[in-house]
């Protein structure tokens, strides 16, 4: 396994690059890729920056230029369900692009020419990641929705839930990585710690949480993941 680890923001990958052994850096397309060993696993860490295009570009480069065989996205997200609380962890089983709408040519949310509205994460990788996360916090598994919007108003999340009732978390990158990995045949998984409730308080909660707690979560989860037997 050569594992690509993507996060949008530096806080979401805090400490991982420092934990790498025999690492080296390469710049490409405005991003810094750090390759090395993470607890015996051959890994490449990178910050994608924010949004679906940024994440898609980063995932494709990881595969095509850095030859990763598996990808994990680790970051924070807004809650999309009343049972999912700030500090909980959501591991994606499926991902949807909630802002994709080519109707009436294709059904709403369907990605043209794939026939799919949802992309499933790799089962084995997701199992291993969820098992690693159980040591850190309360884990939910299900649907993560991505779009090029910070969901920070109550009406936005209410409208989204009306359209897609089973959403557990909302963020801005996961489903883009999912589509790229689907198209390139690369197993992937997405894990998100909940930073806010995607409501009117989201921006303030997000800023506070991302600095204090989120950074520790990713490190602990990835360490447990790498140390677990495949």
Q: Which of 155, 151, 144 is nearest to 75 (CA)?
A: 144
Q: Is 99 a catalytic residue?
A: no
Catalytic residue, from 11, 12, 93, 205: name it. 12
- Whichever of 3 and 6 has its CB closer to ligand SAH, that residue is 6
Q: How far is the CB of 82 from ligand SAH (least distance, A)?
A: 15
Choosing from 206, 217, 219, 225, the residue that interacts with ligand SAH (CB under 6 A) is 206
Q: How far is the CB of 77 from ligand SAH (least distance, A)?
A: 5
What's the rounded Cα separation, in Å, for the pair 154 and 41? Answer: 41
Site string for ligand SAH, 125-154 (x = CB under 6 A): -------------------------xxx--
- Whichever of 45 and 202 has its CB closer to ligand SAH, that residue is 202
178 CB burial (10 A radius; 0-12, 13-18, 19+): buried
- Whichever of 36 and 100 has its CB closer to ligand SAH, that residue is 100
**Interface of this chain with ligand SAH, residues 151 to 170, rule: CB under 6 A:** 151-152, 170
What's the rounded Cα separation, in Å, for the pair 192 and 91? Answer: 6
Q: For tokens 């690369």, what's the residue? A: 186
* 196 makes contact with ligand SAH (CB under 6 A): yes
Q: Which of 190, 136, 169, 205 is nearest to 4 (CA)?
A: 190
**Interface of this chain with ligand SAH, residues 73 to 92, rule: CB under 6 A:** 75-78
Q: Is 12 a catalytic residue?
A: yes
What's the rounded Cα separation, in Å, for the pair 56 and 71? Answer: 12
Catalytic residue, from 94, 110, 196, 223: name it. 196
Q: For tokens 């040519």, what's the residue? A: 105
> What is each CA distance from 221 to 91, 139, 167, 192, 230, in whole angstroms?
12, 11, 23, 11, 15
Choosing from 72, 172, 190, 222, the residue that interacts with ligand SAH (CB under 6 A) is 172
- Whichever of 42 and 101 has its CB closer to ligand SAH, that residue is 101
What's the rounded Cα separation, in Å, for the pair 39 and 15? Answer: 13
Q: How far is the CB of 98 from ligand SAH (least distance, A)?
A: 10
Q: For tokens 């009306």, what's the residue? A: 162
No. of helices (H) and no. of strands (E), the chain: 7, 10
* 219 makes contact with ligand SAH (CB under 6 A): no
Site residues (vs ligand SAH, CB under 6 A): 8-9, 50, 75-78, 150-152, 170-173, 195-196, 198, 202, 206
Active site members: 12, 196
């Amino acid at each position: 396994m050569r594992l690509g680890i993507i996060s949008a923001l530096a806080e979401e990958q805090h400490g991982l690059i420092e934990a790498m052994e025999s690492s080296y850096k390469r710049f490409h397309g405005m991003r810094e890729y750090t390759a090395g060993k993470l607890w015996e696993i051959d890994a490449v860490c990178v910050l994608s920056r924010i949004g679906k295009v940024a994440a898609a570009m980063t995932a494709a480069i990881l595969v095509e230029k850095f030859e990763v065989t598996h990808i994990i996205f680790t970051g924070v997200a807004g809650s999309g369900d009343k049972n999912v609380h700030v500090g909980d962890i959501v591991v994606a089983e499926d991902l949807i692009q909630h802002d994709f709408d080519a109707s009436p040519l294709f059904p709403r949310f369907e990605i043209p020419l794939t026939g799919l509205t949802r992309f499933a994460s790799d089962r084995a990788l997701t199992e291993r990641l969820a098992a690693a996360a159980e040591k850190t916090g309360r884990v939910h598994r299900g649907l993560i929705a991505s779009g090029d919007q910070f969901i920070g108003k109550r009406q936005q999340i209410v409208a989204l839930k009306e359209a897609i009732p089973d959403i557990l978390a909302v963020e801005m990158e996961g489903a883009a990585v999912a589509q790229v990995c689907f198209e390139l045949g690369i197993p992937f998984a997405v894990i998100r710690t909940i930073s806010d409730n995607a409501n009117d308080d989201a921006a303030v909660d997000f800023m506070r949480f991302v600095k204090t707690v989120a950074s520790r979560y990713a490190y602990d989860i990835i360490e447990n993941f790498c140390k677990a037997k495949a």
